[in-house]
Chains A and B, each alone.
Chain A
């Protein structure tokens, strides 16, 4: 990955993937910033990863199968910007 691959188009594409609308000035600024950051990240290419084994052997916690939650409609919906019928309301989703 070279810093030259960071273009305003790419920044906009990735911003859409992250669902973030950017103003044109932001696109310019992030393009420059990201070039710097990704250039700096290049140094990881110096590292020799040949014999690196990822240790990942601490087991996750488990819980017993019991109904301990729910029945809190008010808590669930009271912060919602828009709600009706006990449900969250969003612009119509067309499939």
Chain B
């Protein structure tokens, strides 16, 4: 398949090649190797054990739940699980790294190759391969702005469990990269293995970018570190692509290096680290023996996995007749699906109801939420009330049009749709005698138009419907109104 996302340079077209390394904080109560808490935002150094702060003689002991979370993640991303894995030490000196080494699964990761299907805006899907996922410790935080000549070290984050997920260089556009992260974030949140909160740093991206002529070998890549939003990701990639193209086209060449993204300028810049500091001297951590996982535990975790986004989309499409795109919108955020599925049980019409309900969630409900910048969990209309509203429509108690008014009252005033319909007198009229009286009245008042209609001006039928509905304040059942209008106009 040819890439339609090419960049035009002075000398021709260029293709971007993107690979990602994503650090996702594991959801766990305590740290990877110590019993200190992981919660965000505590006072400096209060969530630190003597293990995290590298005191003499302190030893790491692995958190079983972090291992299980990584396995769940691997299973959710169709990855192989390695029953034998091991922790290595990555040695370097930095004040926020108390031991002088980071414990990380460098040589033998817990999770092996897998793949993710990324949904693109043109309705197509792209497969992005996962190279591996390994467990490692986060470092602490250096605070530079409290003093002109000192940095301060807070170790609250030191030792928090991270999953580092490394993709193959399979992405060919900003959209593919961004949508990969969106999809990944969605899956991790379904699994409950990472909260996906990019602002708090629970998910951070390192982006490997290179450019090449379409069809050529990979070019030299740069790695841009610690990008913490989708927007910045887009900016960082665009900036790197332009920089690399200009560099090559002006006769230079790209240097393989680590770069830092500057969010205020939207630019990347070289970190210019000393060559020696890259000699990490990895070797197996002698304080830890191999991590050995039994097949029974993998099976148990596989069986307890929740239904994931792709499976949900399939189910929604096949059982409810949703369009794939609509289904994807519904499942992207775990909370939206939870809302949708919470009301689904209350839907009475199992044939038409779910699809109508889904349209209302992605239409009216999303509209109202967006207007007030609310999340679905903050919705002023509960899932069961919205489902009741759908039931009123499918039971022909109100029309879709009236339902929108009812929804408006539900949103602003609260209350169940039934009580609103009752108190506001919005119930649909289906009684034929009552409607016939009104239709006859309308026809009588529009004598001339009736004559025109009968002379063949069929288009006037809609006019009569409108007049009847107006007279009934929108409450007439459209089918009954149509039927009676036709009967009377044709003198039946």
Stretch touching chain A among B141-149, B299-307, B324-332, B465-473: B141-149
Q: With A59-B289, A73-B45 in contact, is A92–B62 under 8 Å at CB?
A: no
CA distance A29 to B46 in the complex (A): 45
Are A66 and B45 within 8 A (Cβ)?
no
Q: With A73-B45, A75-B50, A93-B95 in contact, is A58–B151 under 8 Å at CB?
A: no
Q: With a CB–CB cut-off of 8 A, which chain B residues contact A72?
A: 48-50
Are A67 and B153 within 8 A (Cβ)?
no
- Is B37's CB within 8 Å of the partner chain A? yes
* A91 interface neighbour in B36, B51, B64, B149, Cβ under 8 Å: B149
* B276 interface neighbour in A13, A71, A85, Cβ under 8 Å: A13
Chain A residue at smallest Cβ distance from B87: A60
Are B62 and A73 within 8 A (Cβ)?
no
- Is B391's CB within 8 Å of the partner chain A? no
How big is the B interface, by class? Answer: 35 or more
Q: With a CB–CB cut-off of 8 A, which chain B residues contact A76?
A: 45, 48, 50, 53, 155
CA distance A25 to B44 in the complex (A): 43
Are A62 and B63 within 8 A (Cβ)?
yes
Q: With a CB–CB cut-off of 8 A, which chain B residues contact A85?
A: 44, 146, 152
Q: With a CB–CB cut-off of 8 A, which chain A residues contact B37?
A: 67, 70
Are B154 and A70 within 8 A (Cβ)?
no
Chain A residue at smallest Cβ distance from B149: A92
A15 CB to closest chain B CB, in angstroms? 11
B184 CB to closest chain A CB, in angstroms? 23
Are A89 and B276 within 8 A (Cβ)?
no
- Is B476's CB within 8 Å of the partner chain A? no
Q: With a CB–CB cut-off of 8 A, which chain B residues contact A59?
A: 289-292
Chain A residue at smallest Cβ distance from B276: A17
Which chain B residues in 257-297 approach chain A with CB under 8 Å?
Answer: 260, 271, 276, 279, 281, 288-292
Which chain A residues in 72-93 approach chain B with CB under 8 Å?
Answer: 72-73, 75-77, 84-93
Q: With a CB–CB cut-off of 8 A, which chain B residues contact A64?
A: 63-65
CA distance A50 to B384 in the complex (A): 69
- Is B47's CB within 8 Å of the partner chain A? yes
Q: With a CB–CB cut-off of 8 A, which chain A residues contact B94?
A: 93
* B153 interface neighbour in A61, A63, A70, A88, Cβ under 8 Å: A88
Number of A-B contacts (CB under 8 A): 134
Chain B residue at smallest Cβ distance from A16: B276
CA distance A76 to B45 in the complex (A): 7
Are A70 and B289 within 8 A (Cβ)?
no
B101 CB to closest chain A CB, in angstroms? 12
Q: With a CB–CB cut-off of 8 A, which chain A residues contact B428?
A: none
- Is A51's CB within 8 Å of the partner chain B? no
- Is A19's CB within 8 Å of the partner chain B? yes
- Is B422's CB within 8 Å of the partner chain A? no
Are A58 and B63 within 8 A (Cβ)?
no
- Is B67's CB within 8 Å of the partner chain A? yes
Which chain B residues in 1-60 approach chain A with CB under 8 Å?
Answer: 28-30, 34-37, 43-51, 53
Chain A residue at smallest Cβ distance from B143: A87
- Is B61's CB within 8 Å of the partner chain A? yes
A11 CB to closest chain B CB, in angstroms? 14
- Is A46's CB within 8 Å of the partner chain B? no
- Is B66's CB within 8 Å of the partner chain A? yes
- Is A69's CB within 8 Å of the partner chain B? yes
CA distance A59 to B86 in the complex (A): 10
Q: With a CB–CB cut-off of 8 A, which chain A residues contact B48?
A: 70, 72-73, 76
- Is B150's CB within 8 Å of the partner chain A? yes
Are A89 and B289 within 8 A (Cβ)?
no
Which chain B residues in 144-171 approach chain A with CB under 8 Å?
Answer: 144, 146-155
CA distance A60 to B144 in the complex (A): 38
Q: With a CB–CB cut-off of 8 A, which chain B residues contact A95?
A: 260, 271
- Is A65's CB within 8 Å of the partner chain B? yes
Q: With a CB–CB cut-off of 8 A, which chain A residues contact B148?
A: 92
Interface string of A17-36 (1 = CB under 8 A from B): 10100000000000000000
CA distance A95 to B273 in the complex (A): 9
Are B290 and A65 within 8 A (Cβ)?
no
Are B290 and A70 within 8 A (Cβ)?
no
Q: With a CB–CB cut-off of 8 A, which chain A residues contact B150?
A: 84, 89-92
Q: With a CB–CB cut-off of 8 A, which chain B residues contact A53?
A: none
- Is A2's CB within 8 Å of the partner chain B? no
Closest 5 CB pairs of A and B: A68-B35, A65-B65, A69-B35, A69-B49, A87-B152
Q: What would be 29 A-B contacts, judged by CB atoms less than 8 Å apart?
A: A58-B290, A65-B63, A66-B35, A67-B30, A69-B49, A70-B37, A70-B48, A70-B49, A71-B46, A71-B47, A72-B48, A72-B49, A73-B45, A73-B48, A76-B53, A76-B155, A84-B150, A84-B152, A85-B146, A86-B154, A87-B45, A87-B153, A88-B95, A89-B150, A90-B95, A90-B151, A91-B149, A92-B149, A95-B271
Query: 10 new A-B pairs (CB below 8 Å) besides A67-B30, A89-B152?
Result: A17-B281, A60-B292, A62-B63, A63-B61, A65-B66, A67-B29, A71-B46, A87-B143, A87-B153, A89-B147
> What is the interface of chain B, defined by CB distance below 8 A to chain A?
28-30, 34-37, 43-51, 53, 61-67, 84, 86, 93-95, 142-144, 146-155, 260, 271, 276, 279, 281, 288-292
